[in-house]
Structure 1
Amino acid sequence: MSTKDLVYIALFAALMAAFGVFPPIIFPIIAVPITLQSLGPMLAGALLGAKKGALAMILFCVLVAIGFPLLSGGKGGLAPFVGPTAGFIYGWIIAAFIIGFFYQKSFCQQNLVAELSVMILGGIVVVYGFGVIWLSIVGNITLSNALMSMLVFLPLDFIKVFIAIFVVRNLKKIGMF
């Protein structure tokens, strides 16, 4: 791995931390906050590729685990990795990998439908899949109740998908990635 690759991995881990500065929107009934950080895996995967995108998310998670308060709301340490939102955090790694895989295979090259499909698959379906299953187990609620509680997040996550596609297309157009 080149120095440039390592810098990009660190840059996207730092971008995740920067997204954590924005205060979370918390619903009293649901243990999962709405954050800007779910945009990070979409950008990391699409711009860095599968391996480096996933490594950026892993680096971010390692920094959180050792105590840096980088998650939205200033959370850090090991507790977020076993709490009700942990599945979403683990999902970020897989999401970045899946999105990166499809972008590397040129599946998304200037094809909006393909880009939407990949971003929704990785950025929403995968992240929600991990998150909802984890929330159901840790929160001791049915899978259907956990899934229903996530519906409030969908509109903003779809907006994040469009933001990610816009950013990725423009950064690639100007030759930054």
Structure 2
Amino acid sequence: MTPRPMDATDLARVAVFAALIAVLGLPGSFPVFGGVPITAQTLGVMLAGAILGPWLGALSVTVLLALVAVGLPLLAGGRGGFAVFLGPTAGYAIGWILGAIVVGLIVHAGNRRPVWWRTAIAMVAGGVVAIYALGIPVQSLVTRLALPETALASLVLVPGDLLKAAVATVVVTLLVRAYPRGFRRQWSAAPVEERVAA
């Protein structure tokens, strides 16, 4: 299926998800080891990739981060400004872009209708693994703590992120059934076993 060009509706969706990610930061954050906060914003990143697809999902995250870079306090705890991208959380923030791409690619693999098990895999692979893959090395570099120690300490973040992955999976699964038009993509027919699994 040839990707269709972006239109005004797509731009509006990008803006809505950038705003959603920002709003999910309003409850604040709970800082843990190395100053990396536990926030609900990763949930928005997962949903952006799943609902908008990999590229528009990544664009929505990029828009948010660009606004943060110019000084808007849109990250959890009212953080903003370019200094955010020089601190220990920088890799996690940039990892959101990769996370949205990975989530979108897996959820919509082969232009098939999303099913719960593929969505769950996507949320863990993109919303947790991909983000950590960038976040942990940058955190290690900034804090000057050895990479294995940083990775071990970061395990405290995993339960919360797995919970967000589970919530995102449920939201996407329900949305596919209740309002499939909410997704940008049109899906090809799924194999029988996938339709049954859904």
Secondary structure at 2:38 match in 1 = coil
User: Does the aligned pair in 2 maintain the 1:95–1:126 contact within 8 Å?
Assistant: yes
Aligned-residue Cα RMSD (Å) equals: 1.3
Residue type of the partner of 2:36?
A: V
Q: Tell me the residue number matched to 1:123.
A: 127
CA offset digits 1:111-165 (Å, max 9, x no partner): 42x2222211101001011000100111111001110111111111110001001
Q: Tell me the residue number matched to 1:69.
A: 73
Secondary structure at 2:30 match in 1 = coil
User: Does the aligned pair in 2 maintain the 1:42–1:123 contact within 8 Å?
Assistant: yes
Q: Percent identity?
A: 39
Q: Tell me the residue number matched to 1:172.
A: 176
1:9 and 2:14 matched: yes
Residue type of the partner of 1:43?
A: L
Secondary structure at 1:150 match in 2 = helix
Cα distance in 1, alignment partners of residues 88 and 126 from structure 2: 20
**After TM superposition, where is structure 1 displaced by more than 4 Å over at least 4 residues in a row?**
none
Q: Pick closer, same or farther for the CA change 1:163–1:111 going to 2, 3 Å.
A: closer
Cα distance in 1, alignment partners of residues 90 and 175 from structure 2: 31
User: Does the aligned pair in 1 maintain the 2:114–2:176 contact within 8 Å?
Assistant: no
Secondary structure at 1:5 match in 2 = helix
Cα distance in 1, alignment partners of residues 176 and 159 from structure 2: 26
How many residues are matched?
Answer: 175
- 2:143 is matched with which residue: 136, 139, 145? 139
- 2:155 is matched with which residue: 147, 151, 174? 151
Secondary structure at 2:27 match in 1 = coil
- TM-score, normalised via structure 2 length: 0.85
**Unpaired runs of at least 5, structure 2:** 1-5, 184-198
**Unpaired runs of at least 5, structure 1:** none
- 1:104 is matched with which residue: 97, 108, 116? 108
1:69 to partner: Cα distance: 0.2
Residue type of the partner of 2:97?
A: I
User: Does the aligned pair in 1 maintain the 2:14–2:59 contact within 8 Å?
Assistant: yes
1:109 to partner: Cα distance: 2.6
